[in-house]
């Protein structure tokens, strides 16, 4: 809203001077930088108002004065109920939240022992919250200079694009305007970032002082209020019983988680070993199948070797027979003479009675050729 009002005044004439027109409304990048500046400034203003309001609230009475004999940790519910009377707008203040968290811790543990350490832990948490509350502002302070550099790049690009070597004098006006955008956006970004950083420094320092006052006030309200060792035996017994129950519950929870972890680990190991066993069985079956195939192949090779030996023997016998036949020079003449003799014998036998068996030459010839 502040940024919109500022630009309304600039364009409406109330702030229509050359300075604001040039450095805040001369280019779209300058509009974005100015709006981010007002966003960061608004965040710092809200933070400063909250710190001022909490500083004024430090004088508010929250708890009754500390009794001379102190109070029992069993009185924490009454003290917490007293804090509920504070207006709702102030219930999220550092002081009220710190005292409420400290009382809740005492009520939960049933003892005020080591209260200073717990309060110190709560102080560290508040310091971290205070640092985190400036996250948006730190982002804006980082983004504004980046936008200034972006404006510089845009301005230089405009100047280079406007440069005309053929008409240098005519293009100098546009080149100068581009360079003006480049330098103006960077100058505006740096100036706005410096302003935000100075304002952040003062607001951060004011909040740090507030946290220091809250630490002192909490120490005054809680330290020494509770009896660390009660004079009432029943109260001591009750406190010891609560502490024992807390320790027992913590141990039971630890044992239960450990048992769950062991059971989960055992189930995982069992599943893993089952998978390993299945893999080994499959590997053994595959090895048996491979061994059977190798045995069959060995038998086939053995038969092949025997057959090769037989073929070699037959080939050797055939070669000897062929050699013997080749050595006989009158083999064909002998066969022809034998055939003629058989034919003559058949002719003579034809004159015998029909019962006399006939010798066929061709059959004998075939048998001779076969021999």
pLDDT per residue as tens digits for the range 133-153: 888 888 999 998 998 888 888
> 291 and 336: one domain?
no
pLDDT of residue 186: 87
Domain boundary among 215, 230, 245: 230
Domain boundary among 327, 343, 362: 327
122, 101 in Cβ contact below 8 A? yes
238 shares its domain with 225 = no
Final residue in a domain of this structure, among 178, 205, 230: 230
Cα 139 to its chain centre, rounded Å, is 26
Give the model's pLDDT for residue 334.
62
Low-confidence ranges of the chain (pLDDT < 70): 13-18, 23, 89, 165-171, 173, 228-243, 266, 308, 311, 314, 318, 321-335, 337-338, 348-371
Give yes or no: residues 201 and 271 share one domain. no
Q: How many structural domains is the chain composed of?
A: 3
Please indicate, yes or no, whether residues 144 and 44 belong to a single structural domain of this protein: yes
Dihedral through CA 303, CA 309, CA 313, CA 318, nearest 10? 80
Give residue 235's pLDDT. 52
**Among the residues of 167-232, which ranges form H helices?**
168-222
**Phi-psi category of 111—alpha, beta or left, where left has phi over 0 and alpha has psi -120 to 50?**
beta
E runs forming strands in the chain: none
109 with 49, same domain?
Answer: yes
pLDDT at 205: 92
* Co-location of 153 and 207 in the same domain: yes
Q: In whole angstroms, what is the distance from residue 309 CA to residue 307 CA?
A: 5
Q: What is the pLDDT of residue 202?
A: 92
Give the pLDDT of residue 364.
44
pLDDT at 5: 78
Residue 139 shares a structural domain with residue 259:
no
Among candidate residues 30, 252, 48, the one with its CA nearest the CA of residue 144: 30
Considering the domain architecture, whether residues 168 and 99 belong to the same structural domain is answered as: yes
Q: Domain range spanning residue 34?
A: 2-230
Contact 174, 137 (CB under 8 A): no
CB 34 within 8 A of CB 9: no
pTM for this predicted structure: 0.54
303 and 353 in a single domain? The answer is no
69 shares its domain with 140: yes
Say if residue 108 is in the same domain as residue 140: yes
Same-domain pairing of 196 and 242:
no
pLDDT of residue 201: 92
């Amino acid at each position: 809203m502040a940024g919109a009002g500022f630009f309304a005044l600039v364009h409406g004439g109330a702030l229509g001077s050359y300075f604001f027109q040039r450095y805040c409304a001369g280019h779209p990048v300058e509009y974005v930088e100015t709006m981010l500046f007002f966003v960061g400034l608004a965040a710092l203003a809200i933070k400063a108002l909250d710190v001022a309001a909490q500083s004024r609230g430090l004088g508010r009475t929250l708890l009754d004065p500390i009794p001379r004999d102190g109070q029992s940790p069993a009185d924490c519910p009454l003290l917490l109920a007293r804090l509920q009377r504070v207006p709702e707008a102030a219930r999220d203040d550092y002081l009220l939240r710190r005292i409420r968290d400290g009382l809740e811790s005492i009520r939960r543990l049933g003892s005020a022992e080591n209260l200073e350490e717990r309060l110190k832990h709560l102080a560290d948490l508040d310091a971290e919250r205070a640092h985190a509350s400036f996250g948006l502002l730190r982002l804006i302070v980082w983004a504004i200079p980046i936008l200034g550099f972006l404006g510089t790049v845009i301005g230089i690009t405009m100047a280079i694009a406007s440069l005309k070597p053929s008409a240098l004098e005519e293009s100098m006006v546009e080149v100068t305007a581009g360079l003006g955008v480049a330098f103006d956006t960077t100058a505006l970004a740096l100036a706005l970032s410096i302003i935000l950083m100075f304002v952040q420094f003062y607001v951060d320092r004011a909040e740090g002082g507030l946290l220091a006052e809250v630490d002192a006030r909490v120490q005054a309200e809680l330290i020494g209020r509770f009896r660390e060792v009660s004079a009432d035996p029943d109260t001591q017994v009750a406190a010891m019983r609560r502490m024992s129950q807390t320790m027992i519950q913590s141990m039971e929870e630890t044992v239960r988680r450990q048992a769950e972890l062991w059971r989960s680990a055992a189930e995982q190991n069992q599943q893993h070993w089952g998978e390993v066993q299945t893999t080994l069985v499959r590997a053994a079956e595959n090895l048996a199948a491979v061994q059977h195939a190798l045995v069959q192949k060995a038998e086939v090779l053995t038969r092949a070797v025997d057959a090769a030996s037989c073929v070699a023997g037959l080939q050797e016998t055939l070669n000897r027979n062929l050699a013997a036949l080749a050595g006989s020079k009158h083999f064909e003449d002998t066969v022809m003479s034998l055939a003629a003799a058989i034919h003559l014998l058949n002719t003579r036998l034809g004159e015998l009675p029909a019962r006399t068996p006939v010798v066929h030459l061709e059959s004998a010839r075939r048998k001779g050729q076969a021999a």
